[in-house]
Amino acid sequence: MSRLIEADAVYKILESCEIEKATIGNPLTDWEYGYNCGIERAESEIESAPTVDAVPVRHGKWISNSPVTMRCNQCTYVASDWIVHEFHYCPNCGAKMDEVKEE
């Protein structure tokens, strides 16, 4: 299963974890140097990780169309009430129905 992440946010977190020299002229200890190499390796792995072709999630809501049907506000697909209550997405356009329903 793929999991999308915001890579730029992860880079910022990793950058904040890097150890800087305490004072000018003091080299990093072996441990600090190794730690920073680990951070750089993590950044490199993120950069070279495969990407996915993701489509932005569409958000919508069901709008009352008749006493027994509802309409998707994204694609105007008309569905019966039972579909609206069984599925939390539009079966036509795939919009995630997480906006407030209108009666």
SS3 49: coil
DSSP of 54-99: --PPPB--EEEEETTEEEETTT--EEEHHHHHH-SB-TTT--B--S
Pairwise CA distance, residues 34 & 37, whole Å: 5
Calculate the CA 12 to chain-centre distance.
17
Taking the model in full, what pTM does it have?
0.50
Per-residue pLDDT of the chain (103 residues; tens, 9 = 90+): 567 888 889 999 998 888 876 656 678 888 888 998 999 999 999 999 888 888 888 899 988 888 889 999 999 999 888 877 777 889 899 999 887 655 5
Where along the chain do its domains lie? 7-48, 57-103
